[in-house]
Structure 1
Amino acid sequence: MNKQLKYSYIIGVILFCFPILGIAQEPIGDQEPAVKVIGTVTKDAIMLRWAANTPLAWKRANQYGYIIERKTIAIGEEILKEPIVKKLTVTPLVPKPMMEWEDFVNKNDNAAIAAQAIYGESFDVELEDGGNDIMSIINQAKALEQRFSFTLFAADQDYEVAKYAGLAYVDTEVKPNERYLYRIYTAIPSEKMKVKFGGVYLGLNDYRPLPEPQDFVGIFGDKNVMLSWNFTLLKREYTNYIIERSEDNGKTFNALEDVPIANLSEREKESSDRMFYIDTLPQNNKEYQYRLKGISPFGQIGPSSTVVSGKGTKKLQHNPAIQEAKLLADNSTARITWEFPEEGLESIVSFELNRSDLIKEGYKVVVPNISKETRSIEFKNLNVINYFTITAVGADGTRRVSFPQMVQPVDDTPPNNPYGLTGIIDSTGVVTLNWQANTESDFLGYRVFRANLENEEFTQITFRPTPQNKIIDTVNIKTLNAKVYYKVQAFDKRYNPSGFSEILMLRKPDIIPPTKPVFKSFKADNGVIALQWITSSSIDAAKTLVYRKEKGSDTPWVLVAEKNIPENKYNDTTAKPTITYLYTLVTMDESGLESEPVTPLSISLPDNKTKPEIDKFLALVNREEKKITLSWKYGVNNVVEYLLYRAEEETKPTLYKVFKEQEKRFFDINLRVNTKYTYILQAVFDSGTKSPFKQIEVTY
């Protein structure tokens, strides 16, 4: 394999790709290492794509690999209390060995990019025309970032490349009535790097056919056509496009390029929502047809767009220009006045007046064969909105059109308020909204607004007024907001706005577990272990589950209580004295999702049976030897130690000495003359209980 990328295709990618990597991505150094995951559903499989989000995490994940874990969350309508967990990777997924890339690289440029980025000894991207010095500086400063960025770019262009790079997986062992939570995490040892796992929640019933590319248009010129389409509308669905051309009236279509077309000029700020492609036509005055297909990040090719057709023409040298489009006093007639250069009159035969309801399309000739000497004309029976253009018709049949001018009769009556707004949200966050259609003759379209809170300011989610009385939206269901709100407003062709529809509230599907409760206090006495906690702060939290097990045993956790929130106490009367128990808490929400368990408490119930007092406790003062001899006798079994407390004069007793159970005598030499001492003795048993205090007073 070559040590440097020298493919002409790759150089072309680099020329445009670096602005994307520098602007479209978030600053690489500011991100917390994590695995980012996306997924899609076919009719019989679930396809996954992922990547680490920082260069260093990506590099180490290439060495240690990725692990895919699947949890079966629901079967049919039932959410499982205990999800079925299956590890889909026997060994962590890593990029295929270098030798296995060889055949793939020879027939796939994206594979060459990824293989060189992963395994190349160096990664010097060469530019022509004196660009080498600049790229050399970039390569030396950001070699790892280049490898990381180029690998992700190549994987986005070709799903098979993503699989070779260890960044894709297809799960075919799925069932139509089940829903799965996929979790993908790295096998990087935690002492080397901590990388947050990523996940996606899908089921076969989430399958949706890929949509058609939107707003595909073409502008035909002299032996060329500029094709354009709105890529932002389907940015999540498609990363590449195929443009096909037909020269036989749509019987056969052929792709224009050997490789798919990618958007390599998107910027974070002031970016256009359109992609452009210029094709050279073999000849003028022949009709060519074009259509567009999208390619998803998973290598799936979507349906064709609407067909764009046209002919290349050699344009006239001069354009007419409308000087004035004036509404006359009757409010239904317009006078259009234009100019045309005298030197261009010999090349034209006439003018035409064109009218449309829209500024960019739909123009029809309303007055043909206007004398080329004429410069003004009146047009009656205006519509609500009128866009006029003047066309100069050339002697060779070619045409040049003026810029449009608008004429509007006075109209300040808004359309009726939209009503009957309804909607649903599916488990992936796709929202489908419907409402009753307006019937006004001058109706233009609707704007749709959304808010996360009913009382907050609504945000418009439509780019322009849409004529359909339905819309598809997507919301993030992995947030703390359980609801989303919508309202709709209608506009006529004069952009008179109606009032808003009634606000529609939709509840999001719940896939976020509740927060954990927190232990507040406990007490173990008189045969009862009393627990108290602070309940979960989640709005949809429903129950607190109390679990118990014996410390040190292999027995499973046992559910001992279910407390409906806001209850926050539980008294365990089944605990046995002298046995140490572990207690933990789990919150369950209204959807049956459970929080992580809290850190267990270790509690032992003391044996509160009354113990007899110590039989004898004596003190003997010996001033000559400067000591007090203490002795005692206690004829009770299971004593583990004795506690001796001492106080001087009127001070409070404090723990002075601790003796083993076989010790029965002590010499106190830490004394002061003419001081009164109080000694207190207490026995401690193996059950944790204690005997009553035995007290004596001694004057030294």
Structure 2
Amino acid sequence: MKQFVLLILMMPVVVRVSFCQDQTIKRDEKPVLQGTIKVIAKSYGDSVVLRWAPSDSWAWNKLNYTGYIIQRITLDEKDNAKKELMTPVPLKPYPLEKFKTVFKSSNTNAAIAAQCLYGRNFDMGLRKGQGAIEDEATVSDARFSYTLMVADYDAGVAMATALRFADKNVKKAGKYLYRVMPAGTVSQGRVDTGSVLVENNTTAVNAKPEIAEGIAFDHLGELHWARNGMWSGFYIERSSDGGKIFTLLNSLPFISSRPDPAALKKDSSKAKLFALLQTQHVYIDSLPKNYTNYVYRIRGINAFAEISDYSGSVTISGKDLTAPVAVNMLNPQFVSGRSIKLLWKKDFIEGDCKGYYVTRARTINGPYETLNQQILPAATTEFTDNFAFLHGGNFYIVVAADTTGNIASSVPAMGLVPDNTPPSIPVGLKGNIEKNGRVNLYWTANKEDDIKGYKVYFANAPDHVFTQVTTGPDTALQFTDSISLNTLTKEIWYKIAAVDYNNNHSEFSAAVQLKKPDIVPPTAPVATNIVVQKSGVAMDWIQSSSADAVSYTIYRAEEKQKPVPVARFKHIPGIISFHFTDTTVTPNTNLVYMARTIDEDSLQSPFSLPVMATIHHTAQRAAITTLKAFYDIKAKLIHISWQYTETGDYFFILSAAYGTDSFRPIRSFDKQKNSYNDLNPEKGITCRYTIQAIWKDDSGNTMFGQPGVVIIPQ
């Protein structure tokens, strides 16, 4: 009930209100309750009436005991002040006995005020302990609020509760400052003085409230009008004869409370109503009859117990908003061709039931179209749809309508025209794979009008079983998949199938083969058989094991220098290695050789393991030309011999090349050795041998001579 406090505090602008500032509490003082007296005033020419109210229930209780005193300060044209005490005896509420003698027992407002001041607790079921303290505070707030309310509604009650004072000793156009203050010390707190400045001019024309709108419902009417703080309550009147005779609907003033925000948190469904009640008063009236005009008008009552003139009137006519009972749909039945028969029943046909509309949709959620332009009579229980959809479902809703336009819809029922024909095979499937593994597929739409969607399938090989990727038919003409590129398979295949509304599936489309982007670099080649010759540095490179290798780049770096490319070779499938001789070397240098593989997606392998070669400045000696080799069939070995009679400190290196392999050193011998047996050679291959003399003092090595060749029989 605290909202009624505002009815006194927020009054017309015929007065100017000012309040004393709260005094600062010193540090060594104990905290006390703070309150004030709010004062308003209205001039009538021959008198000035004051109304006031304490700001809190505790202050009201204290001031009922100490009483109020009123001081008037008369201001002349020069604003000279003359102070007068208007209440030699403090104003206090009437004793209970005086209430009984002054007011008739039928005066409800006086009875409420007396009960608030002197009655027992409103609720005898108070809790104990801390709960009792809280309950008593709530009861005190209620007594305070109800007292302020009835003081607004009845001037005599306002006087009796010491909340009103009439100053009749005033002059017209006089300027007066009134101060209302406690008559004594308020224990356990402080209540500040309230003041108001009044110019006693002719009283202002009484305002009146206005109804903003009237809304009609089924046997109900709802009135809205603005909250503006001017009025403490309202009287509502209604006329059923066009405004000739009005009847008062409420004996006590009506006011609609602002909603409690805590209640909104508990029930958010009332948010719209709560928002309305923040700015509008809402009054709901029961209408005896629908379709009868009822005229409404209101009057306001302010804090001075003045009743306003009548507002303008609004007319409300209730209307039937009760829908008929919906029909019960039976299972639709296929007849033939495109015909489906609908059946329904209605247990009770209302007197105002006008008939039915039959609606149809492809899906249960609509949109629905009306099949009959003319409403079917109320006694109808069947309808035949001769143009049902051939493909997919037919969902039907029967709508019952009454004479005032209220409708009720049945539960949807589905009918089917049998369809066993699958869609045509989808065409135009194409796509691509991005480097992040995103697969983009596109295709051409089927021409059938009953296509529900498409399913997408994939396989890692064209002869594998294709697995469905999509969860169900999708109407889109494109699909995005995500795959891992770190796999052994380099391609992926996709197919699609079309699905109609009867779940018939087309045959698979032609598969589209998509190549996966290569993100794995190839393996590097491996250097072998490094030989420093007079013509340069010779070496063999074992090719990369990567299936998509395309070429190789050989790099050379001198000591402490960056490697630079010196040669490029194509990858030749089917061979193990390729040979490279670097003829651009310079004497007395240390060289490092590395190589990289390039695949068909231009990815490069890491550098191979480096190999080193040292180029010495030595003279080249003549090749050894006496090497001979023959195959001993009985011993199953190859006998190699040579003759070399040069003097000096040297040794021999024998190199061999088996089949298509390159030459590589196989043995070394001191200079006294002049033969060697190569045991268990492989059958059916060609073996080549060459020998070189290497001087230990770097004075020069022999060049490679013409190789001895032996063909091993099968």
Q: Provide the TM-score with structure 2 as the length reference.
A: 0.38
* TM-score (normalised: structure 1): 0.39
